[in-house]
Chain A
Amino acid sequence: MMDWKKIIIAIDDSARSINAIEYVGSVTGHLKDVYLCLLHIYPEPPPDYYRSAGTTLDEYKKTQEEQARILFTCAEKILQGHGIATTAITSKCLMADHKSISAAILDMQMREHYGTIVVGKRGIPKAEEFLFGSISNALIHNGRDIAVWVIG
């Protein structure tokens, strides 16, 4: 089992992510040796992106990273409010390159030996899960030797 105090908080711009950040803050705020990584994974651009938007992949990535910076600033504030030191928080924004978002999260977890992944729960109907997928379910299903916290 990996070190559970090395925690990835996978976030997007939803209220569910804020809940997840608040939860992690309240659980770990008083603990020592906690190391948090705010992770925002975004999908590859849609197939017609280059034609319709007339832009490059670099521009797409730049836009996504700018949006992620706003998320990270907000998340860091929440965590610091729970007493977590700035030095214990990092952030990363990556594109899910030829893979699903959940697979990209797990890749990062394995590569950098994180022991816990935290995500917000959407609570979607079955049909929606079939078509669009559930990141939390995929993490629970495919994660190995880690804890996955799904925050409702």
Chain B
Amino acid sequence: MTAYKEVSFLPADIIQNLKGHRITRSLRRSSRVYTDTTDFTSLDYGDIIQVEDRYFLITSYTKEGRFGVDDQIKKWVPKVEDLATGVPYILKLVFHETFDISFGPFTIPCYRSPEKEARILELVQGRPNFMQGKSLLDDNNNLVRVIVPVNGNRLDKVIHHSQTQHQEYFIKELPDILTRFLESLKAIGFLHENGLRHGDIRRDHIFVDRNTNQFYWIDFDYDFYLPEKPYALDMFELGNILIYLTGKGDYNPREILADPNMGEPVLQSILPTDYSLLSQNRIVNLRKLFPYIPEKLNNILLHFSAGAEIFYETVQELQTDLHDALCELK
């Protein structure tokens, strides 16, 4: 178990702020002060993380939940409040994890890399479309990333909440969404130009700012090992988001059959080449589902299909094509 200090060792103003805090008032034990976050499982709600003379009170924990899996607490990602300023942050503590992800028959080794996330946070300081933060070192040289939370919602939830039917969504909402997504593409292109990958591009890793509607990339600590195509997975996932945004959802044979506007006739028209290059069962050739999707936009999606003859090698190529397609939509 990691050693901790009593709160009496804290500066007087911090103790003062701690005493009056709603978290402390509801706590049945004294807060503990940790200067080493190696064993983050020892830390709990109401404890204080002291790094480089800053004092962060743990107010709750972030959770992860996707695809119907129950939300799981991420003990290495506490929500905190800076006891000197009262400003809320999210801390990301060092958690090294190695795992494989599968794409059809292929397996790609993936890693959680605090160092990579710290490099990205430094690189994107002050740039739009990226979550902001700063890395600090605890007493055991663990990289503690202090993240400014984005005030908004996950992109997939924003899209899902739109109650409009696809055609209306496509005409009225998608051009604006894609305009903002173009900025997200540019942001990932910037990372690649600087030799860095996002590493975990997903529709729920874009946050939509509540006030400005601007898209922000979050979570940069995943990395993967593809020495000959270091950006391939980022590219593929960008394509997946674009397909999702264009279709306002994912489409597989079961969903097509269940949709009274499509059903068997549409499913019969789907060829093996219309499916995703790597995600089995996912239909990429959306023009067969929604014939009003212009060919120019659909052709971009087909770059990610099993029938693709050429692939996008850089984000810039994808960005240029999407810009052209968007001009046609507007």
CB within 8 Å of B: which residues of A?
43-44, 46-48, 51-52, 96, 98, 100-102, 126-135, 138
Q: Is B292 an interface residue (CB 8 A)?
A: no
> Which of A43, A48, A52, A126 is within 8 Å of B277, CB to CB?
A126
> Is A132 in contact with B116, judged by CB distance below 8 angstroms?
no
> Is B229 in contact with A131, judged by CB distance below 8 angstroms?
yes
How distant is A95 from chain B, measured CB to nearest CB, in Å? 10
> Is B98 in contact with A48, judged by CB distance below 8 angstroms?
yes
Minimal Cβ-Cβ distance residue in B for A101: B228
Minimal Cβ-Cβ distance residue in B for A42: B227
**CB neighbours of B113 from chain A (8 A):** 47
How distant is B225 from chain A, measured CB to nearest CB, in Å? 4
Q: How many residue pairs bridge A and B at CB < 8 Å?
A: 64
Provided the pairs A52-B98, A102-B228, A133-B228 are in contact, do residues A127 and B278 lie with their beta carbons within 8 angstroms?
yes
How distant is A30 from chain B, measured CB to nearest CB, in Å? 35
> Which residues in chain B, 297-315, are within 8 Å of chain A measured between CB atoms?
306, 308, 311
How distant is B294 from chain A, measured CB to nearest CB, in Å? 25
CB within 8 Å of A: which residues of B?
96, 98, 103-104, 106, 108-109, 111, 113, 116, 195, 223, 225-230, 232-233, 236, 277-278, 306, 308, 311
How distant is B96 from chain A, measured CB to nearest CB, in Å? 6
Question: Within the assembled complex, what's the spacing in Å between the Cα atoms of A132 and B232?
Answer: 8
Provided the pairs A47-B116, A51-B96, A127-B278 are in contact, do residues A132 and B226 lie with their beta carbons within 8 angstroms?
yes
**CB neighbours of B98 from chain A (8 A):** 48, 52
Minimal Cβ-Cβ distance residue in B for A44: B227
> Is B229 in contact with A100, judged by CB distance below 8 angstroms?
yes
How distant is B247 from chain A, measured CB to nearest CB, in Å? 21
Q: A100-B228, A132-B232 are in contact. List 6 more A-B contacts (CB 8 A).
A: A47-B113, A48-B96, A102-B228, A131-B106, A131-B236, A133-B228
**CB neighbours of A132 from chain B (8 A):** 106, 226, 228-229, 232
Cross-chain pairs A/B with CB under 8 angstroms, 15 sampled: A46-B109, A47-B223, A47-B225, A48-B98, A52-B98, A96-B227, A127-B306, A128-B106, A130-B308, A131-B106, A132-B228, A132-B232, A133-B232, A135-B228, A138-B228
